[in-house]
Amino acid sequence: MSHNTIDINRTMKRFDSHAKVWLFGYGSLIFKADFPFLERRPAHIAGWTRRFWQGSHDHRGTETAPGRVVTLVPEAGALCHGMAYLVTPEEFAHLDYREKNGYLRLATDIHFEDGGSAEGLVYIATHENAAYLGPASEREIARQIAGARGPSGPNSEYLLELARALRELGKPDEHVFEIERHLVAFHG
């Protein structure tokens, strides 16, 4: 599958007739909401864990030196914490473009930290997309992040902002924090 997923995502019509839809963000969507939203609530989804296994050729790296950004991988019993945004379907065009580097829309149950749940959508980059980099040690991931930069800025900024946002939510993520520790050690 191409890493440009805009056309594939346009075929997902499940929420198009809805007046508003919950969107779950677990990476840059937590700290960079560059779209209008009606409401924002801390939330989690079940059965997924956050991993820096997706390549970024378009935002935090280049074709020749891709950065690494997060995606979700299935893990029984896991909870992935993040932020849910209530948006109108008109925002899908912007979000599909923003998430075009391998991410597909997936319907999921979103559980709000203050109680209740709703069906919504999440963007996930699976191992089947061309930009998928896959597993590596946290140290190797940190080294790649330390050297990557793209049109949206240094890859290290993405990692550090995500770690900060997770701390603000009070939701530690050992994978993210371990990569952050290695990155800080590299920069002294």
**Contact, 6 vs 100, CB < 8 A?**
yes
**In sequence order, which ranges of 21-60 are alpha helices (DSSP H)?**
28-31
Please answer whether residues 184 and 142 qualify as being in contact, where contact means their C-beta atoms are separated by less than 8 angstroms: no
The active-site residue out of 99, 161, 168, 178 is 99
Q: Counting Cβ atoms within 10 Å, is residue 42 exposed (0-12), middle (13-18) or buried (19+)?
A: middle
Helix, strand or coil, per DSSP, at residue 80? strand
113 part of the active site: no
Sign of CA pseudo-dihedral 125, 128, 133, 136: positive
d(CA 64, CA 26): 26
- Which residues are catalytically annotated? 99
